[in-house]
Amino acid sequence: MKISLRREQYLELYYYMRLNRSLEERLVTLFRQNKVVGGLYSSLGQEATSVGTAYALEKRDWMAPMIRNVGALLVKGYRPRDIFLQYMARYDSPTHGKDGTSHFGDLKERHVISPISMLGDLIPVMTGVAIAGRYLGQNIVAMTWIGDGGTSTGAFHEGMNFAATQRAPFVCVVENNQWAYSTPVRRQVPIRNLADRARAYGITSYIVDGNDVVAVYRVAKEAVERCRAGEGPILIEAKTMRMKGHAQHDPAEYVPREMFEYWQARDPIARYETFLSRQGLWTEQEKQQILDRIEREIAEDLAFAENSPFPPPELAEQGVYCEDAYEIKPEWQRPIEEVMPPKASVQAVWQVEDFGGIAEGAVQVIEAAAAPARDGTGRRQVARTPQRGKKKLSARGKGR
């Protein structure tokens, strides 16, 4: 799929990545000043993944960010002040001061589902959103993110299997940032490429350099359009690096210094600045204008947040239950009759073409290497048929 960007879009990608980083740098200062109420999780080094994938979505599409996807929130229309207010637990925040981290969303305008702390649970949730949109005729795509550690949860695998069987228009972005808290990827999974996990469910997958924002965008855009065209769910593995600890309290002393140096040389923003200059997509003056704009917006929005009041005590008992909190009703974009009897009636009988069998006398051998191959291809499948008059071979290839 040929995917091109206009010059202003190239510059917009830079704006969002740089805004993402500048916003988080200011949040670190606020955290050290004891003005951030909850925990603070950095996406330093992962900005290209969040921005590039979210930029591929349309306004009608839905997304569910995780703790390191501030860039995706900015792309979806949130302002720095929303993030400041949320972390500082002020009344004007999206949750009116009831959550001091990233647990907020917008079901009405931005189509953002709030993060779920139980890793993996967003996979079945967003599969449900994707299926609901298809049922209502909205032609939407749903997207969420998960870390390398999160792909080992049961909810992840249950959700991916559910998405696959329903051919949901759903994109799952695996941010392989090399560390599940303090556990390296190779100590928690026996494969090099987490994208291989999609094979078990018949799902198409991509592997992309997560520090190359243009490559991320192009892969995500192709995945989104394929999902919208009805090709089923797609998994994207973005290889990147978490350049800070799990949270501000974690100094990440378990990460080898050489590993930080390797990824520092591949910083997504520095790489993109070099790309824009070499391609003649901006001038030094235009770059400075973007940086000045970001500095101005950060300063204005931080001032707004610091002058926002804390929530009043009586707010604590409000909104505890969902009653009267939302007026949720379906937005039909297709005739309801299409999905109601008698027009949508189908015979409750499944047609199974081959009845689940295997060719008579065939033996299928699944061979696995003793240890995972370094290129991640440590497993292959072979099918063969034994000759007549000879013993059938077992799975190990020896007669019994």
Catalytic residue numbers? Answer: 242, 246, 254
Region label for 324, one of left (φ > 0), alpha (ψ between -120 and 50) or beta (otherwise): left
Residue 363 to residue 359: CA distance in whole angstroms:
9
* Tokens standing for residue 229: 């065209």
DSSP 280-338: T---HHHHHHHHHHHHHHHHHHHHHHHTSPPPPGGGGGSSSSSTTT--------S-GGG
User: Measured in whole angstroms, how far is the alpha carbon of residue 109 from the centre of its chain?
Assistant: 20
Residue 269 to residue 290: CA distance in whole angstroms:
13
* Tokens standing for residue 258: 């050489």
- What would you report as the CA-atom Rg of the chain, rounded to the nearest whole angstrom? 24
Residue-wise burial string across 282-308, b where 16 or more C-beta atoms lie within 10 A, e elsewhere? beeeebeebeeebeebbeebbebbeeb
Residues 365/383, Cβ–Cβ less than 8 Å: yes
